[in-house]
């Protein structure tokens, strides 16, 4: 975590609208024993089941890009 200079995660609905965005290591990476991150809502209202696209951007102190399992984007399925 200390080697990350900046980080941001954005989640989009199927129409491309932003439904969630967080930045900073505390907001994106959270902690080992806490519940942080996207809870499947937008402004407190539950979103419908379906596929959502996530996009990760960030840099390590050495200038390399932050990735999740080698990727900077992907999909997540929200099931209610």
| pLDDT tens per residue across span 15-74 | 999 999 998 776 666 555 556 789 999 999 999 999 999 999 999 989 999 998 899 999
Residues 6+ apart with CB under 8 A from 58: 4, 5, 6, 7, 8, 28, 65, 66
Residue 79 to residue 71: CA distance in whole angstroms: 23
Is 58 within 8 Å of 5 (Cβ atoms)? yes
What number does CATH give the domain 4-78? Answer: 2.60.40
Q: Which of 2-6, 63-67, 75-79 has the lowest mean pLDDT?
A: 2-6
Q: Confirm whether pTM is higher than 0.85.
A: no
Spatial CA neighbour of 71 closest among 48, 51, 54: 54
Give me the residues paired with residue 8 across strands.
23, 57
């Amino acid at each position: 975590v200390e080697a990350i200079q900046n980080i941001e995660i954005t989640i989009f609905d199927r129409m491309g609208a932003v439904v969630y965005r967080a930045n900073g290591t505390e907001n994106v990476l959270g902690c080992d024993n806490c519940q942080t991150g996207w809870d499947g809502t937008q402004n407190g209202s539950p979103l419908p089941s379906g596929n959502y696209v996530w996009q990760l951007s960030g840099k390590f102190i050495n200038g390399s890009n932050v990735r999740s399992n080698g990727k900077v984007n992907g999909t997540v399925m929200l099931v209610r």
